[in-house]
Amino acid sequence: MNRIQLKAPWLRHYGVVPHTLEYPDKSMFDMISETAAKYPSYDAYEFMNQKTTFISFIKEVRICARAFRALGIREGDKVTICLPNLPQTVIAFYALNAIGAVATMVHPLSSEGEIAFFLKDSQSVAAICMDQFYAKFQSARTQVHLPKLIVTGVKDALNLPLRVGYYLTQGRKINKIAKDADIIWWNDFLTMANTHFGPFTANAKGKDPAAILYSGGTTGTSKGILLSNLNFNALAMQTFAMGNCLSPGNSMLSVMPMFHGFGLGVCIHTALFYGVKCILVPRFNVKSYGELLKKKRPNCIAGVPTLFEAITRNPDMEGVDLSYLRGVFSGGDSLSVELKRKFDAFLVAHHASVPIREGYGTTECVTASCLTP
């Protein structure tokens, strides 16, 4: 049988980018577990100045996975995660992956009606929500059957001194939840792990389902898109190979939300896949983002064009040294030629040696499927 030789003249322009990649037939949890074994003392994430190493992170994921098993969550079950970028979000996402369940990622600012739709459409058997948004889930539960609801908040991710400070500044503004509410508090949920003694990890493979992300609904009703382990792992490997900017021990400023493929696939999974620390930011504005850049000095940043436009206009960025940046990525919307030129000039003026690069893709691909050089 004669082989057909396909010409690929574009390959000569790939430079150091490999022409092909070999993808592992493994789960996302398997891949980050391997990373933790290689770099146990490296930081996996940072939240409000608290750092957690990879070995500690994997322990947290395994405890959460056992708790899900004790709660009755089984392989193939759908569980809605409706949280901002908190440690609990990352832990729960990988814990569900470890047991072969499917994480349905939902915007925490969704309305009661939207939440009810997402719960029903995904056939979720449980959900995790923020304490400040509990009322919306309580309302949604009158419209759709949701047997189990786990409630958490920023306070659950803080040590005692930070927890006190958070309560005095923000926490006391949150409406109290009735003591007899039909919920499970996050810390009580985690203690359920002590009641599960048997095996808890699933023998998940690359093509097994891992997450449901909802489209933006630009052509009508928002659609749930089922993505596999391979979708996420391939994205991580492609982003790393094409990005050519990250190394284990580097840091990623993870401000893009985890309910979006850009935030979940690039800012979280790609980073953790390669031993890069995720600096978790649940909420930010242009001023606080500038402060984060100056204080945290991340090696990689990713955002939407409007964010980069705002950065160039932020007077607090004047004279700031950005030489630590190794990768700057734009996605989620079209990056105009004018803005690219403007931000590239901004980077040069602030001593960065890299340009801004634009990704393009769809939720069906998790996020980007193309990236400019």
CA dist., res. 232 & res. 254, Å (int): 17
217-246 pLDDT, tens per residue?
777 788 999 999 999 999 999 999 988 889
Among the listed ranges 68-77, 170-179, 354-363, which one has the minimum average pLDDT value? 170-179
φ, ψ dihedrals at 90, nearest 5°: -65, -45
CA torsion 137→143→145→147, rounded to 10°? 30
Name the pLDDT band for 122 (thresholds 50, 70, 90).
very high
CA dist., res. 235 & res. 366, Å (int): 8
Over residues 338-362, the mean pLDDT reads 97
Give residue 4's pLDDT: 55
Give residue 333's pLDDT: 92
306-326 pLDDT, tens per residue?
999 999 999 999 999 999 999
Query: pLDDT at residue 5 above 70?
Result: no
Over residues 63-84, the mean pLDDT reads 98
279-302 pLDDT, tens per residue?
999 999 999 999 999 999 999 999
180-211 pLDDT, tens per residue?
999 999 999 999 999 999 999 999 999 999 99
Name the pLDDT band for 354 (thresholds 50, 70, 90).
very high
Rounded to two decimals, the pTM is 0.95
239-276 pLDDT, tens per residue?
999 888 899 999 999 999 999 999 999 999 999 999 99
Bridge-based pairing of strands 209-214 and 224-228 is antiparallel
Name the pLDDT band for 154 (thresholds 50, 70, 90).
very high
Residue type, 182: D
- Closest Cα partner for 139 from 154, 125, 119, 124? 119
User: For the chain, what percent of residues have pLDDT higher than 90?
Assistant: 84
List domains and CATH numbers for the chain: 51-228 (3.40.50.980), 234-371 (3.40.50.980)
Give residue 6's pLDDT: 60
Over residues 102-119, the mean pLDDT reads 97
Tokens, residue 33: 């577990």
- Angle subtended at Cα 65 by Cα 61 and Cα 67, rounded to the nearest 5 degrees: 120
φ, ψ dihedrals at 328, nearest 5°: -130, 120
CA dist., res. 299 & res. 357, Å (int): 14
Give residue 205's pLDDT: 97
- Angle subtended at Cα 122 by Cα 142 and Cα 95, rounded to the nearest 5 degrees: 105
Q: Three-state SS string across 233-280, please?
A: HHHHHHHHHHHCCCCCCCEEEECCCCCCHHHHHHHHHHHHHCCCEEEE
